[in-house]
Structure 1
Amino acid sequence: MNTTEATNVDDYITEFPQEVQERMRVLRRLILDCAPEAVESISYHMPAYKLNKKPFVYFGGFANHIGFYAQPFTHEKFKDELAAYKQGKGSVQFPHHKPFPERLIWDMLQFKKEQLNKL
């Protein structure tokens, strides 16, 4: 994992190769389009987003993939769609060598936002 000293998401993204930066910018745009009211920060050395003062999602850049963290209940909801990707509890890896699944990410973000808004 990148042990960044970045204090904001722009600086974090620029620490990566151009093609990875482009994917991270797409992911950031999806997050902020879905939840423009989300508060953006760096937490656990990666971009972090809170919604209604609760964790929304995180993402992190790695040599071979982007890690996306939307908590276990979101990943469980989309287990069939995520089956093609390496996963951990509450995380999924989107490899750089595969097409970036924008629609799937959007759907996951929408679901997570709906869940947080119920709390």
Structure 2
Amino acid sequence: MTPATGSRPTTIDGYLDALEEPALSRMRALRALVREELPEATEAIKWGAPAFLHPRGTILLVVSAHRAHANFTVTPSAKEALASELQGLETGKGSVKLPYADPLPEQVLRRLARRRLAEFEEDAVPWM
């Protein structure tokens, strides 16, 4: 079961508790990666998915589990800033699709998280 098909969790731990493998491992890895890159961020559930918020309350990024992949979502401007590094990955408006069968592209995700933080702090770019 994924959170999208069951009751809505109110915490990230609750979100993770509802997952099965391989989604659980992927989401744990994403959470750890974001915590390392954005240590001041707080966690919340927004629109049914784990979100990481700047200390001032603005969403920095969202991660979510789906049937065959996870999403790592930042603002479109942060994603576009690293577009050349995302070639070969399926992307959406601000999201990067991370199929469970593929290795996690940790370095580019770390750069996306740092870019999103910088664009908020330096340019006041809000969430979508």
- TM-score, length-normalised on structure 1? 0.91
AA in 2 matched with 1:66: A
Higher strand share: 1
Q: CA deviation at 1:18?
A: 2.7
Q: CA deviation at 1:49?
A: 1.3
Q: Is residue 94 from structure 1 mapped to residue 85 from structure 2 by the alignment?
A: no
2:87 to 73, 83, 101: 83
Q: Give the structure 2 partner of residue 13 of structure 1.
A: 16
**Greater Cα offset, 41-50 or 28-37:** 28-37
**Greater Cα offset, 16-25 or 98-107:** 16-25
Unaligned runs of 5+ in 2: none
Quote the Cα distance in structure 1 between the aligned partners of 2:36 and 2:121: 16
**Greater Cα offset, 11-20 or 106-115:** 11-20
Question: How many residue pairs get matched?
Answer: 119
Unaligned runs of 5+ in 1: none
RMSD over equivalenced CA pairs, Å: 1.5
After superposing on structure 2, the runs of 4+ consecutive aligned residues of structure 1 that deviate more than 4 Å are none
- TM-score, length-normalised on structure 2? 0.85
AA in 1 matched with 2:104: F
Q: CA deviation at 1:14?
A: 2.0
Instruction: Give the secondary-structure state (helix, strand or coil) at the position aligned to 1:84.
Output: coil
